């Protein structure tokens, strides 16, 4: 079976884009990825486009914008994992031998869709009684603090780290470093979480071009990195209540990815994880097996997750610093892995990294642990 090579990446600035829409953003990211790959756009054989709130046939609108009509095209909705799921489906088209050159795009113009707290779908019983996504993660934070003795100040170090990284990322939504005091003094959203603990409402898009061995040998110019694994799981139904401070869904997805890539968590050099909230980063990295359960807050305190630390987490700034345009997020994570592995990450470059991991996890429905989870492993 062929390997999957990522040979071109593109990403818009993440932030507020009042003068453009999700089509413009997706098209800009796609054109940049094509230029980065240095290929004739006519080589692209199929397209997968992830978004959540952008309406029917988003992907067709983007491809029409750049003159690419007629391709097999799939629009993908999988909550915050939509873009990452698009990458997974695109990579399967290559592994199956169906296509040699495919593109995955993720886009979202979120500022035109809503403001404030995201909620589960209104039909959901939990949404009907007032569940919000910040509220759900806040409850997990309350329990984690009780179970593992994490302090509010330790939790604040995560947005401090991620916004410091974002300050080094020219494409990030936030470009200003903050302090623990800034976090603790920001507006309360859902106790114990405050505004700086939350990812912002962001517009943005990203795109990656993937190739088979055969196409990469012809067109990759030696700049390709490998998508060693792209795994997807959906949440299982709770048969009995389990700890909300651990993520079996994240672990099941990671295990599949580790097996496919032939590595273990100890081999991962750096990670982009789904820090939709500060507490989420804790739950993700422990669920991925990158840090032991209950240990991450103190590891962050020791600087282990910094860009120059033992295992950098969210060097791009993460969702909290770089921003979280739902469909764009999972693709942008992979763009960051590729740029880090190519040595093109500028002031936030991690030295000597060979294996990067990206994790997305999104959505909520009553009675299941999480909705959609993806883990991608990219290697040099």
Binding site for another protein (CB under 8 A): 116-117, 119, 125-126, 128-132, 134-135, 138-143, 146, 187-193, 236-241, 244, 366-367
**Helix, strand counts (H, E) of the chain:** 13, 11
What's the closest the beta carbon of residue 212 comes to another protein, in angstroms? 38
CB of 54 to another protein, least distance (A): 21
Do 349 and 356 meet the contact criterion of CB atoms below 8 Å apart? no
Q: How far is the CB of 71 from another protein (least distance, A)?
A: 38
How far, in Å, are 109, 338, 354 from residue 378 at the CA level? 27, 7, 8
* Cα 271 from Cα 15, distance rounded (Å): 22
CB nearer to another protein: pick between 145 and 300: 145
Which of 17, 109, 274, 324 is flagged as catalytic? 324
Burial class of residue 116 in the structure, from the number of CB atoms within 10 Å of its CB (0-12 exposed, 13-18 middle, 19+ buried)? exposed
Catalytic hit among 80, 198, 276, 360:
80
* Nearest to another protein of 294, 309 (CB atom): 294
Minimum distance of another protein from residue 332's CB (angstroms): 26
How many alpha carbons lie under 13 Å from residue 63 in its C-beta half-sphere? 24
Please state the φ and ψ torsions of residue 33, each to the nearest 5 degrees: -65, -40
Distance, CA of 354 to chain centre? 19
Identity of the residue, 70 or 116, whose beta carbon is nearer to another protein in the bound complex: 116
d(CA 62, CA 68): 9
Instruction: Return the residue matching tokens 């507006």.
Output: 187
Q: HEC profile for 252-294?
A: HHHHHHHHHHCCCHHHCCEEECCCCEHHHHHHHHHHCCCCCCC
Task: Measure Cα distances from 219 to 8, 177, 207, 331 in Å.
Answer: 10, 40, 18, 22
Task: Write out the two tokens for 372.
Answer: 């959609």
CB 246 within 8 A of CB 289: no
Residue closer to another protein (CB basis): 48 or 137:
137
Nearer to another protein, 116 or 222 (CB): 116
Q: How many CB atoms lie under 10 A from the CB of residue 55?
A: 10
Residue linked to tokens 């809503």: 114
Q: At its nearest, how many Å lie between another protein and the CB of residue 178?
A: 19
* 198 among known catalytic residues: no
Cβ–Cβ < 8 Å for 330, 80: yes
**How distant is the alpha carbon of residue 77 from its chain centre?**
14
CB of 277 to another protein, least distance (A): 11
Bridge partners (DSSP) of residue 229 are 377
Least Cβ distance, residue 123 to another protein (angstroms): 10
Whether 324 sits among the annotated catalytic residues: the reply is: yes
Closer to another protein by CB, 177 or 252: give it: 252
**Beta strand 355-362 with 372-379: parallel, antiparallel or unpaired?**
antiparallel
> Would you say 19 or 240 has its CB closer to another protein?
240
Provide the annotated active-site residues.
80, 324
């Amino acid at each position: 079976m062929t390997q999957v090579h990522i040979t071109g990446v593109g990403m818009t600035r993440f932030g507020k884009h009042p003068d453009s829409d999700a089509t413009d953003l997706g098209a800009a990211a796609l054109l940049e990825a094509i230029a980065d790959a240095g290929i004739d756009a006519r080589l692209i054989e199929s397209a997968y486009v992830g978004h959540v709130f952008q309406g029917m046939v988003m992907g067709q609108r983007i491809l029409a914008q750049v003159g690419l009509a007629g391709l097999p095209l799939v629009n993908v909705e999988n909550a915050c994992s939509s873009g990452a799921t698009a990458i997974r489906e695109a990579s399967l088209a290559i592994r199956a031998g169906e296509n040699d050159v495919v593109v995955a795009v993720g886009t979202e113009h979120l500022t035109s869709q809503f403001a404030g707290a995201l909620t589960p779908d209104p039909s959901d019983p939990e949404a009907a009684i007032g569940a919000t996504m910040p509220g759900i993660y806040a409850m997990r934070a309350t329990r984690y603090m009780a179970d593992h003795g994490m302090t509010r100040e330790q939790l604040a170090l995560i947005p401090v780290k991620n916004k410091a990284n974002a300050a080094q990322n020219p494409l990030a939504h936030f470009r200003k470093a903050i302090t623990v005091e800034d976090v603790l003094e920001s507006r309360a959203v859902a106790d114990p979480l405050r505004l700086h603990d939350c990812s912002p409402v962001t517009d943005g898009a990203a795109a990656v071009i993937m190739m088979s061995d055969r196409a990469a040998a012809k067109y990759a110019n030696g700049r390709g990195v490998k998508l060693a694994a792209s795994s997807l799981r959906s949440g299982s139904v709770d048969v009995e209540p389990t700890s909300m401070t651990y993520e079996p869904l994240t672990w099941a997805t990671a295990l599949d990815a580790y097996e496919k890539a032939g590595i273990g968590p100890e081999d991962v050099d750096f990670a982009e994880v789904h820090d939709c909230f500060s507490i989420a980063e804790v739950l993700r990295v422990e669920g991925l097996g990158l840090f032991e359960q209950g240990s991450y807050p103190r590891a962050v305190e020791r600087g282990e997750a910094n860009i120059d630390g033992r295992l950098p987490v969210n060097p791009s700034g993460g969702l909290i610093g770089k921003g979280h345009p739902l469909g764009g997020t999972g693709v942008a994570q992979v763009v960051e892995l590729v740029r880090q592995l190519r040595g093109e990450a500028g002031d936030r470059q991690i030295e000597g990294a060979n294996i990067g991991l990206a994790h997305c996890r999104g959505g909520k429905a009553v009675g299941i642990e999480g909705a959609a989870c993806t883990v991608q492993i990219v290697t040099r």
